[in-house]
DNA sequence: TCTCCAGTCTGAGCAGTGTTCAGATTATGA
DNA sequence: TCATAATCTGAACACTGCTCAGACTGGAGA
């Protein structure tokens, strides 16, 4: 079952194989899941022999790393867009919008997202570009939280990162839809309510006297 | 490189192969990561031929499903333990303890945890036991949240599940330690602060008049 | 106690995988 | 124009998941 038909080339050299491999791989993940991704299969989709990819990527992990790094770049752009938007009424609103952007990204780019948070696939310790791109994305959240004036911005940044990631993972795995059915609500609505609640709780946290007192001690 | 030495048997029949396969698999994940897990390798670790596991598990996914289901059972026990403990001063405290138990589980049973949230490995749609065990674990959180009297318990339950899972995933992937270094703090302390913050924000949420008003409308 | 059989295990085999490599082909730049 | 570097092919190797015929054996029924 070919996702792209793997039409034959008339030229010996492909011309833009690197890009096509990345695209074919993302397409494949979105269509059949990460389990269906093999380098040979990706090569086939791109209409190229099994050995060809190795002139552009050191190994399978390198291809997935490229996708992961690109994904973090796209995510960073989305987060920056959410943070920079006008009409902010409170820090909580801004946080809610950012978390929503996080989840929206995962649903719009499921192929990238599924690779980004599976470190055993992309071996980030061998591919520092992934680490750097990931740090840049987290940085957006950290700076946003820093402006909120909360007592422990690092802890909050970490929590928001974890929550955004967790919600996105649940949405992708179908657990969100499943739970929404059990609870007899709309999945998108459920998600929106969860995100809104996060925003309100952040607002509550910034206004808490107990929060600031903690670090004064 | 053998994790367990794969010592020879003197009997033709193993006797408790099913259990040993599960244990060897968990051991392997903890020692070398999920990428190193192959059924042949697990069979070798158990000192048995490549075909033997198929008398106990339909396929690779079935073995991983068994581990996943068992993991959810262990998690449920831990969560129940955290919920039922004495000395609760507020709903937020109880939530914080439960989230902490979630993260602690992931760190104590990394082998199980890594399989539990990778649905493409265990194919839960084919193995309903995994779904059921997972639902039971989530149920603990849902009931806890239900007792808090918050306006939208479903949304909060989902968020807490996502946050607990996200924090645990970050802790396992080493991102927590990495960030702690960047921020010049202790990873365990950072985690404890994040969890405590979640508890306080839940307390803030339950006391918010705006929360209850939403559902009165 | 013997016998038989269902459950267990072996080992060969198939198709598919990641990766390497010699050799064929072609773009590039001197 | 032509050597060189980059790219691609296809065969090969060791590995994987999985199947299956046949070897083994614990235990129930005679």
CATH 1.25.40.10 correct for A1-57: no
What residue spans in chain B does CATH classification 1.10.10.60 cover? 1-57
B174 to chain A: nearest residue by CA?
Answer: A119
Interface contact flag, A120 B201, Cβ < 8 Å: no
Percent helix / strand / coil, chain A, rounded to 5: 75, 0, 25
**Distance between CA B188 and CA B176 in Å, rounded?**
9
Determine the distance in angstroms separating the CA of B122 from the nearest CA of chain A, rounded to an integer. 11
CATH of A65-208, one of 2.40.10.220, 2.60.40.420, 1.10.357.10, 3.50.50.60: 1.10.357.10
Whether pLDDT at B131 is above 80: yes
CB-nearest partner of A163 from B34, B118, B159: B159
pLDDT of B173 over the 90 cut: no
Q: What is the pLDDT of residues B65-120, one digit of tens each?
A: 999 999 999 999 999 999 877 766 788 999 999 999 999 999 999 999 999 988 88
Are B190 and A155 an interchain contact pair (Cβ–Cβ within 8 Å)? yes
Burial A52-78 (b: 16+ CB within 10 A, else e): ebeebbeebbbbbbbbbbbbbbbbbeb
DSSP string covering B8-57: PPSSSS-SSHHHHHHHHHHHHHHHH-GGG--HHHHHHHTT--TTGGGGT-
Closest CA to B40 of B53, B28, B29, B30: B53
Sign of the Cα torsion B24, B26, B27, B33 reads positive
Tell me the C-alpha distance between B177 and B179, whole Å: 6
* CATH of the structural domain B59-210, one choice from 1.10.486.10, 3.40.640.10, 1.10.357.10, 1.20.950.20: 1.10.357.10
List, for residues B37-64, the tens digit of each pLDDT value. 999 999 999 999 999 999 999 999 999 9
Dihedral pair phi/psi, residue A207, rounded to 5°: -90, -5
Check CB contact of B104 with chain A, cutoff 8 Å. no
C-beta atoms of A154 and B210 within 8 A = no
DSSP A37: -
**Mean pLDDT to the nearest integer, A160-175:** 89
Residue A5 in this model has a pLDDT that exceeds 60: no
B165 touches chain A (CB under 8 A): yes
pLDDT beyond 70 at A119: yes
Q: Looking at the complex, does the CB of residue B126 fall below 8 Å from at least one CB of chain A? A: no
Does any strand D atom come closer than 7 Å to the Cβ of B60?
yes
CB pair distance less than 8 Å for B205 and A205: no
Q: What is the pLDDT of residue B159?
A: 95
Residue ranges, CATH 1.10.357.10, chain B: 59-210
pLDDT higher than 90, residue A137: yes
Q: Rounded to an integer, what distance in angstroms lies between the CA atom of residue A153 and that of residue A144? A: 9
pLDDT at A23 over 70: yes
* Element of type H or E holding B96: helix B91-108
Q: Is the pLDDT of residue B208 over 60?
A: no
pLDDT digits (tens, 9 = 90+) for B142-164: 999 999 989 899 999 999 999 99
- The confidence score (pLDDT) of residue B211 equals 43
pLDDT at position B34 over 80: yes
pLDDT attached to residue B13:
87
Query: What is the pLDDT, as a whole number, of residue A87?
Result: 67
| B168/B96 Cα distance (integer angstroms) | 14
Which pLDDT belongs to residue A210?
42
Looking at per-residue confidence, does A44 or A124 come out higher?
A: A44
């Amino acid at each position: 079952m070919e996702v792209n038909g793997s039409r034959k080339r008339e030229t010996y050299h492909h011309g833009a194989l690197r890009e096509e491999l990345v695209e074919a791989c993302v397409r494949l993940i979105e269509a059949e899941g990460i389990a269906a991704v093999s380098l040979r299969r990706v090569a086939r989709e791109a209409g190229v022999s099994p050995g060809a990819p190795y002139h552009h990527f050191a190994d399978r992990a390198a291809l997935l790393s490229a996708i992961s790094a690109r994904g973090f770049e796209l995510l960073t752009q989305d987060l920056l867009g959410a943070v920079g938007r006008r009409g902010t009424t409170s820090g909580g609103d801004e946080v809610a919008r950012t978390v929503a952007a996080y989840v929206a990204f995962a649903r719009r780019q499921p192929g990238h997202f599924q690779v980004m948070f599976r470190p055993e696939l992309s071996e980030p310790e061998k591919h520092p570009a992934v680490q750097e791109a990931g740090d840049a994305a987290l940085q957006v959240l950290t700076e946003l939280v820093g402006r909120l004036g909360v007592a422990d911005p690092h802890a909050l940044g970490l929590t928001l990162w974890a929550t955004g990631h967790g919600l996105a993972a649940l949405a992708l795995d179908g657990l969100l839809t499943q739970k929404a059915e059990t609870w007899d609500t709309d999945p998108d609505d459920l998600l929106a309510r969860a995100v809104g609640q996060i925003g309100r709780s952040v607002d509550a946290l910034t206004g808490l006297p107990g929060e600031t007192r903690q670090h004064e001690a």
